[in-house]
Structure 1
Amino acid sequence: MAESDGGQSVSGYIKHHLTNASVGDGFWTFHVDTLAWSIVLGFVFILSFRAVAKKATIGVPGKWQACVELIVEFVDNTVKSTYHGKSALIAPLALTIFVWVLLMNFMDLIPVDFLPSFAQFIGGQLGYDPHHVYMKVVPTTDVNMTFALSIGVFILMIFYSIKIKGVGGFLKELYAHPFNTPWLYWFNFILEVVALLAKPLSLSLRLFGNLYAGELIFILIAGTIGLWQLPLHFLWAAFHLLIIPLQAFIFMMLTIVYLSMASEEH
């Protein structure tokens, strides 16, 4: 259990585990742990799927190849049934989002003290105060990460809207819908801009809120009962096995839906 300056306490323990390892100041503060873990997990996804693609056989597949094929087929069927435009980017994008978010969410199942304690040990060996060595290992519990993902989706929404409808069509969609009368153009514009900005906001906060709440419960379990945390940890982890893939699926599904709406010509 992490110690606060005044000794061991549950509040100090929780605060320590919810603090990111960061560098910089103000707006230019970088959460090193979020960046590092998200990049590492991104490479795990790319390299593992690439290895399967290079060694894929048409005969009886191995277990990992069968798993990858199942995921790819699931995402492909979801895109075909949801996205009604024509773009070769949507299916790879959906696959990347689903697997990457899934891997980041799965970091939530690692016992909360394991990797932070290891980081504190390494920091102590390097001459740092272990009490001031921080590490959050679940990137999706950092709102900056979920907002970065949703902003990427938002940029693609704008891109496809302009690509399919043109600049004029995109602007007309903002001011002439739902009431196509000049007297209410200003009202339409306010409604549509709010609805447009609400999409990436809700997309990011939904993922962040669910994973942050799950991680907080893991920390509370560990902070209140210490080494006896494992039985309760495994019980909550078993329930969390439903939340982790569900949140990855919802993020992927909403991304496809938003891009499909942006690609509709009317």
Structure 2
Amino acid sequence: MAGEALTPTTYIQHHLQNLTAPVGEGGGFWTLHVDTFLTAVVMGLIMVFAFWMATRKATAGVPGKWQAFVEICLEFVDKQAKDTYHGKSKLVTPIAITIFFWILLMNLLKMIPADFFAIPLGWVGVHYWKPVPTADVNATLGMSISVFFLMIFFALKSKGIGGLVHEFLTAPFGKWMLPFNLILNIVEWLSKPVSLAMRLFGNMFGGEIVFLLIWVLGGAGLFGAIAGGAFGLGWMLFHLLVIPLQAFIFMMLTIVYLSLSEDSH
């Protein structure tokens, strides 16, 4: 697209295009979304570094500002995890902390205009870069599939293979309705990670499109610039609520699903 004049439609399509790299011959299903992968890794490293900075000089006395802020955030997530999860596993709080803050940082990239990434990258020959990993369904599905395997792990740890298989075949209608029980449980278990992924992806992808539409409006003369600025400010303020809310919902549903996977039916 370098050197071509972009219409509003092609401009939006351009910014919604991932930088891809085929894995193996032909790529296809195994095509890697390089921008999503690298950005997600960087945000994860930033999260780890931020927490490390808070604990590096942690004190039991009067904490510094950053340590106090991190402690407040961790206590908030820890309280939500303990109030929601009814089991005894010590893994739930670390999982909740990782999910919430990692998704929050990835979502926050939405507050940076797409051209702030695209233009500098274009100077070095990278013409496609989708900056928000959670606006890519591959990222949200990857996280939700990880949650799905955690659900299986927690269920097996609590009930064992025999108990889990017995529950799949006999709950909720009893052993005489085995085929219906099996179908219902398969649908229930598979729907959880799919809905988890699609909820986060839909909100972030939809918000990204609206931001791009507002950005296009801002280039339509003086009136467009004024209207784009007003709408952009309003949408940005709205997303100051949406961004942490979506991270919180993903975290809370994960905890609920892990708790339910241990419950007997």
Same-fold call, TM > 0.5?
yes
Contiguous gaps of at least 5 residues in structure 1? 124-129
Q: 1:167 aligns with which of 157, 161, 168?
A: 161
TM normalised by structure 2 equals: 0.92
1:3–1:9 CA contact under 8 A, matched in 2: no
Structure 2 vs 1, CA of residues 67 and 36 (structure 1 numbering), >3 Å: closer, same or farther?
A: same
The CA RMSD over aligned residues, in Å, is 1.6
- What are the equivalent positions in structure 2 for 1:80-229 lying under 5 Å apart? 80-123=82-125, 133-182=127-176, 184-226=177-219, 228=225, 229=228
Q: Distance in 2 between matches of 1:116 and 1:226?
A: 17
Greater mean alpha carbon deviation, residues 252-261 or residues 168-177: 168-177
Q: Distance in 1 between matches of 2:155 and 2:164?
A: 6
- What are the equivalent positions in structure 2 for 1:64-83 lying under 5 Å apart? 64-83=66-85
1:3–1:13 CA contact under 8 A, matched in 2: no
Runs of 4 or more, structure 1, over 6 Å off, are: none
Shift of 1:64: 1.5
Q: Distance in 2 between matches of 1:226 and 1:143?
A: 29
Shift of 1:109: 0.4
Shift of 1:230: 4.1
1:111–1:233 CA contact under 8 A, matched in 2: no
1:112–1:222 CA contact under 8 A, matched in 2: no
Shift of 1:55: 1.1
Q: 2:28 aligns with which of 7, 26, 29?
A: 26
Shift of 1:173: 1.4
1:85–1:263 CA contact under 8 A, matched in 2: yes
Q: Distance in 1 between matches of 2:232 and 2:86?
A: 43
Shift of 1:155: 0.2
Counterpart position of 1:261: 260
Q: Distance in 2 between matches of 1:3 and 1:202?
A: 37
Counterpart position of 1:249: 248
Q: Distance in 1 between matches of 2:118 and 2:69?
A: 31
Name the SS of the counterpart of 1:8 in structure 2. Answer: coil
Aligned residues: 255
Name the SS of the counterpart of 2:88 in structure 1. Answer: coil
Shift of 1:224: 2.6
More relative contact order in 1 or in 2 (CA 8 Å, sep 6+)?
A: 1
Q: Distance in 2 between matches of 1:181 and 1:96?
A: 40
Name the SS of the counterpart of 2:124 in structure 1. Answer: helix
Shift of 1:3: 7.3
2:169–2:175 CA contact under 8 A, matched in 1: no
